[in-house]
């Protein structure tokens, strides 16, 4: 190359560098954010059917969850994380795709998840992340977008779970919540490529039905009696016909296997030993002192609630193990830790267990984010965020472009900006699965910070709640003169959201199919 040409190229290079420096430090350019340059690791802790009411950071009236509370203390707790469709597989599909059920194809638990579509783990993987999925997958199709997976088969058992990998299936002896954590820690320690940032989806079965506690907590709460929740004997007056039609009452619909008054399913020797230690003496007591009426309802509620809380307690213990590992290994600062469940759950509110409804206990799911490098600790945020926002948020955290067809949006501005950051004025919800377990009528609706409008389209019936005046949603004010304007505004917003989100037209006239979940047999246990 001629000297003169070389000189010209050097000048061009110098001018380019100067321009870049000007961009970085010039008066009109934003100040650079001082952070670690490497993209953060993401640990997504995901449980199944965990109610906010069973986390002390959310004000549980029942128990303490010190390790989840620690995450909340060190991060941001979202009070209003709303799910798009309150049931297992649809929630999981929404988390993976950043899309509502009608677009990702998973409207109910009955479908096979289409793993060929775009997902957040695939996009992170393509951007150089190492991706792993360990624990409960529950999407029937083979996991895609992961460098490594070790998953339960279907719902998986609470004890001695078969664990499936890309190449084989091995039964591991022990309590599933502990085992999933062992596998996650093994992967963090020895399994991953430590030159890459990682996404670890660490997903528990617990506290899904039928709530089998671990060996460490079999007798926890034995000396406690919990009072029935104030709405336990809800008679569903003022509501549509849907609530009264459902079969998910603690006092009527829990069966012997749920309540551990019968083994029913064949148990192996190890399971039998645990079962006898935990329930043998308690069942002797109930046999010798038969109960009836409200006393029997209270007994059932306590049996149910205590097993549920015991299952949660092991989740909390294991989250402590994981947080300790991140500290000890020096990973904590540049690792985002997220805690969430696939939906909320009823702990006797309205008399119920299970989920599905757009009512608050199942619409809301726990959501806590800790990100020491970027987010101030100890925040409580009331923004209307959602599980549809998880995928775009993780991509944003990783510096990966969010695809235009994702329907959620990044929560990062809220995480960094705090409570005054505007996020979403109204949220769309849609539940589809019917006829199915528990006979909950399909419905959709809109929730704002204060109001909730629900349409049960199989019944052609509406409900409207003022959450400020009626937080328990006992008083349906739809059609009342005082709410005419509010109702009209919500109807408009609902139609707008349905259009924005490309929701197909109402499936009316809805086929008047009969629903009888008493005849479901054991299928109810696979109902996510």
Positions in the binding site for Ca ion (CB under 5 A): 48-49, 88, 342
Strand extents, DSSP E, 103-219: 130-135, 148-152, 162-164, 169-171, 198-203
Minimal distance, residue 48 CB to Ca ion, in Å: 4
Q: Which two tokens stand for residue 192?
A: 């991953």
Select 85 or 487, whichever has its Cβ closest to Ca ion: 85
Nearer to Ca ion, 129 or 367 (CB): 367
Nearest distance in Å: CB 156, Ca ion? 13
Pick the closer one to Ca ion by CB: 204 or 260: 204
Q: Smallest gap, in angstroms, from Cβ of residue 342 to Ca ion?
A: 4
CA triple 203-209-213, angle to 5 deg: 80
DSSP string, 231-271: TTT---TTS-SHHHH---BTTTT--HHHHTS---S---HHH
Residues 6+ apart with CB under 8 A from 342: 46, 47, 48, 49, 83, 87, 88, 91, 92, 95, 365, 387, 528
Secondary structure class of 152 (helix, strand, coil):
strand
Side by side, which strands form the sheet with 461-466? 427-431, 443-447, 451-456, 461-466
CB of 91 to Ca ion, least distance (A): 7
CA distances from 85 to 274, 342, 355, 365, 510 (A): 35, 10, 10, 11, 19
The Cα–Cα gap between 463 and 197 comes to 47
Q: Which is nearer to Ca ion, 83 or 278 (CB)?
A: 83
Closer Cβ to Ca ion, 251 or 342, answer by number: 342
Q: Let me know: does 191 contact 183? Beta carbons within 8 Å.
A: no
Q: How far is the CB of 41 from Ca ion (least distance, A)?
A: 26
Work out how close the CB of 81 gets to Ca ion at its nearest, in angstroms, rounded to a whole number. Answer: 14
- How near is the Cβ of 207 to Ca ion at its closest, in Å? 9
Residue nearest to Ca ion (CB): 88
CB of 321 to Ca ion, least distance (A): 23
Nearer Cβ to Ca ion (298/342):
342
Cβ contact 338:24 at 8 Å: no
* Closer residue to Ca ion, CB minimum distance, 202 or 465: 202
Residue among 153 and 497 whose Cβ is closer to Ca ion: 153
Structure-token match 């409570």, residue found:
419
- Of 345, 350, 325, which Cα lies nearest the Cα of 335? 325
- Tell which residue, 316, 340, 319, 337, has the closest CA to residue 81: 340
Here the tokens at position 363 are 């619409």
User: Measuring CA to CA, which residue among 336, 352, 354, 334 is closest to residue 344?
Assistant: 354
CB of 241 to Ca ion, least distance (A): 25
Among 88, 122, 123, 94, residue whose Cα is nearest residue 108: 88
In the structure encoding, which two tokens stand for residue 473, read together? 């949603």
**What HEC string does 52-108 produce?**
HHHCHHHCCCCCCCHHHHHHHHHCEEECCEECCCCCHHHHHHHHHHCCCHHHHCCCC
- To the nearest whole angstrom, how small is the minimum distance from the Cβ of residue 443 to Ca ion? 18
> In this complex, which beta carbon is closest to Ca ion, that of residue 48 or of residue 297?
48
Question: How far from the centroid of its chain's Cα atoms is residue 249's Cα?
Answer: 22
**Closest of 438, 424, 280, 420 to residue 362, by C-alpha:** 438
Q: For residue 208, give Cα distances in angstroms to 226, 255, 311.
A: 20, 15, 9
Residue with Cβ nearer Ca ion (106 or 240): 106
Nearest 10 degrees: Cα torsion 414, 415, 417, 421 = 20
Q: Which is nearer to Ca ion, 40 or 90 (CB)?
A: 90
**Residue 204 vs 443, nearer CB to Ca ion:** 204
Q: 107 or 334: whose CB is closer to Ca ion?
A: 107
Residue 174 CB, nearest distance to Ca ion (Å)? 23
Least separation in angstroms between CB 127 and Ca ion? 29
> In 3-state terms, what secondary structure has residue 47?
strand
Closest by Cα among 221, 150, 155, 199 to 179: 150
Q: Could you tell me the smallest distance in angstroms from the CB atom of residue 365 to Ca ion? A: 9
């Amino acid at each position: 190359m001629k000297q003169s040409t070389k000189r010209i190229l050097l000048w061009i290079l110098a001018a380019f560098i100067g321009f870049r420096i000007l961009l970085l430090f010039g008066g009109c350019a934003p100040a650079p954010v001082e952070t670690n340059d490497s993209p953060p690791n993401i640990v997504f802790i995901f449980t199944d059917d965990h109610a906010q009411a069973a986390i002390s950071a959310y004000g549980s009236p029942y128990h303490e969850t010190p390790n989840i509370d620690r995450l909340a203390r060190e991060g941001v707790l979202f009070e209003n994380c709303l799910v798009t469709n309150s049931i297992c597989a649809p929630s999981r599909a929404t988390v993976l795709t950043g899309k509502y059920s009608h677009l990702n194809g998973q409207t109910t638990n009955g479908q096979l998840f289409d793993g060929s579509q775009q997902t957040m783990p695939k996009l992170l993987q393509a951007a150089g992340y190492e991706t792993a999925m360990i624990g409960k997958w529950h999407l029937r199709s083979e996991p895609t977008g992961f460098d490594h997976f070790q998953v339960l088969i279907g719902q998986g058992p609470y004890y001695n779970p078969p664990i499936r990998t890309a190449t084989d299936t091995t039964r591991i002896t022990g309590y599933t919540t502990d085992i999933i954590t062992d596998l996650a820690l093994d992967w963090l320690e020895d399994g991953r490529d430590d030159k890459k940032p990682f996404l670890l989806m660490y997903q528990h079965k617990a506290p899904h039905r039928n709530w089998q506690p671990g060996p460490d907590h079999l007798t926890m709460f034995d000396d406690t009696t919990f009072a029935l929740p104030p709405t336990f004997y809800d008679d569903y007056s003022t509501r549509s016909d849907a609530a009264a039609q459902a079969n998910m009452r603690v006092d009527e619909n829990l069966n012997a296997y749920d309540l551990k008054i019968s083994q029913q399913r064949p148990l192996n020797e190890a399971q039998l030993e645990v079962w006898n230690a935990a329930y043998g003496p308690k069942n002797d007591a109930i046999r010798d002192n038969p109960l009836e009426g409200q006393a029997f309802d209270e007994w059932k509620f306590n049996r149910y609630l205590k097993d549920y809380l015991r299952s949660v307690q092991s989740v909390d213990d294991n989250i402590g193990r994981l947080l300790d590992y991140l500290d000890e290994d020096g990973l904590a600062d540049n690792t985002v830790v997220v805690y969430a469940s696939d939906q909320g759950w009823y702990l006797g509110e309205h008399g119920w267990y299970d989920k599905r409804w757009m009512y608050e206990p199942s619409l809301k799911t726990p959501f806590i984010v800790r990100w020491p490098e970027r987010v101030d600790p100890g925040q409580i945020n009331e923004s209307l965020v959602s599980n549809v926002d998880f995928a775009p948020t993780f991509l944003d955290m990783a510096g990966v472009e969010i695809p235009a067809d994702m329907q959620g949006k990044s929560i990062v501005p809220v995480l960094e900006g705090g409570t005054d950051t505007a996020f979403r004025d109204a949220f769309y919800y849609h539940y589809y699965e019917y006829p199915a377990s528990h006979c909950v009528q399909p419905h959709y609706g809109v929730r704002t910070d204060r109001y909730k409008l629900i349409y049960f389209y199989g019944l052609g019936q509406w409900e409207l709640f003022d959450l400020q005046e009626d937080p328990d949603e006992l008083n349906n004010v739809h059609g009342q003169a005082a709410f005419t304007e509010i109702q009209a505004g919500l109807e408009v917003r609902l139609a707008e959201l349905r259009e924005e989100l490309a929701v197909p037209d109402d499936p009316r006239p809805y086929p008047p199919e009969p629903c009888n979940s008493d005849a479901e047999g054991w299928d109810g246990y696979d109902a996510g």
